[in-house]
Every structure is written in C-alpha cells, then in structure tokens.
Amino acid sequence: MATQDYYEVLGVKKDATADDLKKAFRHLARKYHPDLNKGSREAEEKFKEINEAYQVLGDPQKKAQYDQVGHVDFKPGDEASYRPPSYDDLFRDFGLGDIFDAFSTGSRGPRRRAGADLRYDIEISLTDAFYGTKNTVAVPHQSECSTCHGTGAQPGFIKECPTCHGTGEIRTPQMIGNRKVTTLATCPECGGSGRIIEKPCQTCHGSGVLQKTRKIEVTIPRGVEDGQLLRIAGEGEPGENQGPSGDLYAVVHVKKHPTFERQGPDLRTSTVVSLPVALLGGEINVPTITGTALLKIPRGTQSHTLFRLRQQGMPYLNADNRGDLLVKVIVQIPANLTKKQEDLMKEAFADYLPRP
C-alpha cells in the first residue's frame, strides 16, 4: 500500500478539487490497471497505491481527517465503518466499464451493483456541537421486498436467462491485431440481471423493493462543524443482485447562537464594562459556552479591546483540546451625569480637557 503522501501518489496539489482528484485517478487507473498489464507485479502494486489514495481523498470526511493528521499517523483501516468501494463501482462511476470489460476473460454472473447513497440534513444547536449528541432520524428509503427477497418475481417464477445463461452478459470474441480478446456487452434479453421473471411479485409489482421509512440513530461527535458530513456506512439504498447497500450521509447544520460567534475552534463574544472599571481596572464575569469565567480588566483599557481566554472555545473534533474564547470589551460611556458627577469629572480630568 501507499507509503508516499496520497496527494503525491495521485500527482495533484493539496488544493485539488473533487473533479481534479477524479481525473487524476482515472488517468492513472487506465495506465496501471492489472487487466491492462497482465503479469506485471509493479503495475499491480502501483494500482493498489492509487486506489488506496483515491479511496481516502475521494471521501470528504476521510480527506478532512487525512489533512489534519497527515500521512504518517493516518491508517485507513482503523475505522470499522470504512468500506472501500469495489472495482465495479469505481469504474462505473468513471465510465471505464467498457475499457476494462474488453480485456476481462473471467467468468462472471449477474452484475452486483451497490445501492445509492442517501443524504439527510440535521440541525443542531451550538451547545450540541460542543458536547456531542445523538439524533434519531426517519429516513425514507427503498427496502428489499420481503415477499420476493429482491428478485421481483413471485416465488418459483424466475428462471435463468437462456440467452446469456445467467451471466447477464454477451461475450463476443474478436481479434485485435494479433491478440484475441473478448468483448462483453449487457444481455439485451434480461438487461444484465441474468434472470427472466415469468410472473412479477404482487407485493412490489416486480421492482424487488418497497418504499419504507427507517429510524436511524446518528451519533454526532463533539466539535462537529457546520456543514460537516457524517457517513453512516450501509444505511443507504439496498444494492442490486445482492450488491452492497449504499451509505447515509448526514449533513450537520449548526444553528446560530445568540451570544457566541464561531470561528473554527474559537468562539467570539462581546461584553460591556463601566467607565470606572475601564479606567481603574477590575474583574468581571463573562459568559462561556459552559457557564461563566473571570476576566481581568487592566487599568486604562480602551473600548473594543480584544481579550483571549485560553481553552474556553469549542473542542476540536473528537479531541480534548479546545479553542479559545475571544472577548471584545466595550466601554460604556454614561449618557447623563449629575451636576456633582460632572464637576468631579472636570476636576479629575482637568489636564485632559481642551483649554479655552
């Protein structure tokens, strides 16, 4: 597997877009795919490297984790929920199926297809983002029909396709130069399923799936940011021909807080202090995400001065370390003074007043 930086493996810069990553992977896959380099151990290892690199950088959540911890400490296999896409899925997404099928000589049955991914938007408070939370969502999805178990046929009324003999493909041998290759095409009789339905299932009307709603508990980690994707493996649509299910992507939206403004791991707020405190100094209580904290105001503090309270911000994602709380101090100037207060102010600040 890859020992280089994943960006170097794919030959892209760290600010590469999703389309840039796809193009780079497609280019290298065409060059190093084992079916196009028979017997080449070097090509096989190279393909494993670029495949691993794209599995990480092509997944927004894995990419964000990789960018944070770097290559040395990153282990794609550490997370039990991580499910790498199959070769069929990758090549189908990039439109490479015809190229690789043309050089495939192995025996294949009906093509297994992964189910579609689902998206669900979740709105949480800033406090929930601080502590982490669990959210039960009702996700509409297609579920395998319990009557026909996904075949689309009434029990006992499905048979092997006589045209492709259950493979789902038609093989046409031909010569390209001095090399004999076999071109594969989807069977027109069964549409690639390898089976013929004689009587459709009455429950699902031949589709093999039913529209249902499933409740799923989504664990939202502490420190999650607005717009972050959470991947719940295998909770998407069911696959075809017993293919793997898709994934559920929960998009987290953090609501605005009335007191705090979030900037990454840091929080910003403002507080008002009286003129005497700003002039003479003192200590005040300021709000934090968990309660209050004591802030020392030095003598002569100017209005709009920014103070930093360490470790009083948001936690980093799934970590104990926290950002800071930035407090902007606004000095309150009295609007109405009594005659006595005015005289005292003039006496105290005689040297600062303009002379006639």
Q: Which residue has the higher pLDDT, 20 or 285?
A: 285
Torsion of CA 348, 352, 353, 355, to 10 degrees: 120
Tell me how far apart the alpha carbons of residues 136 and 37 are, in angstroms, rounded to a whole number.
48
Average pLDDT over residues 114-121: 86
- Do strands 118-124 and 248-254 pair parallel, antiparallel, or not at all (unpaired)? parallel
Strand pairing of 305-309 and 325-332?
antiparallel
The mean pLDDT value of the chain amounts to: 82
Q: Is residue 327 within 8 Å of 295, Cβ to Cβ?
A: yes
Quote the pLDDT of residue 88.
Answer: 45
**Angle at which helices 18-32 and 87-94 pack, to 10 degrees?**
110
Instruction: Give the DSSP letter of residue 2.
Output: -
Rounded average pLDDT over 104-116 = 57
Tell which wins on pLDDT, 241 or 248: 248
* Radius of gyration for the chain, computed over Cα atoms and rounded to the nearest angstrom: 32
Going through the chain in order, the beta strands assigned E by DSSP cover 118-124, 133-144, 158-160, 169-176, 179-186, 195-197, 209-220, 229-232, 248-254, 261-263, 266-274, 282-288, 291-297, 305-309, 325-332
Taking the CA atoms of residue 331, residue 332, residue 334 and residue 340 in that order, the dihedral angle to the nearest 10 degrees is -50
At residue 160, the 3 state secondary structure works out as strand
Beta bridge partners of 260: none
pLDDT for the residue numbered 75: 54
Q: Among the listed ranges 102-111, 184-193, 310-319, which one has the minimum average pLDDT value?
A: 102-111
Q: Are strands 266-274 and 325-332 parallel, antiparallel or unpaired?
A: parallel
Q: What is d(CA 113, CA 71) in angstroms, rounded to the nearest whole number?
A: 32
Tell me the C-alpha distance between 222 and 216, whole Å: 19
Tokens of 4: 């280089």
Window from 9-13, 17-21, 151-155, 350-354 with minimum mean pLDDT = 350-354
Measure the CA–CA gap between 308 and 338, rounded to whole angstroms.
36
Greater pLDDT, 71 or 89: 71
| More confident position, 344 or 80 | 344
* Distance, C-alpha 300 to centroid of its chain: 48
Considering only 39-48, 121-130, 259-268, which range has the smallest mean pLDDT?
39-48
Closest CA to 111 of 182, 192, 195: 192
State what percent of residues in the chain have pLDDT above 70: 84
> Measured between alpha carbons, how far is 296 from 301 in angstroms, rounded to an integer?
10
- Tell me how far apart the alpha carbons of residues 71 and 6 are, in angstroms, rounded to a whole number: 7
Contacts of residue 100, defined as CB under 8 A and 6 or more positions apart, other chains included, come to 33, 35, 36, 91
Q: Is the pLDDT of residue 94 over 60?
A: no
Average pLDDT of the residues in 312-328: 93
| CA 356 to centroid of chain Cα atoms | 68
SS3 340: helix
| Closest to 133 in 3D by CA, of 259, 265, 250 | 250
Mean pLDDT, rounded, for 89-115? 48
Judged against a pLDDT cut of 70, whether residue 1 lies above it is answered with no
Q: Which helix (H) or strand (E) holds 253?
A: strand 248-254
Angle (CA) 245-46-27 rounded to 5° is 75
Q: Is 72 exposed, middle or buried (0-12, 13-18, 19+ CB in 10 A)?
A: exposed
| Distance of alpha carbon 297 from alpha carbon 212, whole angstroms | 60
Q: Is the pLDDT at 234 greater than 60, yes or no?
A: yes
What per-residue confidence (pLDDT) applies to 92?
Answer: 45
Q: Is the pLDDT of residue 79 over 50?
A: no
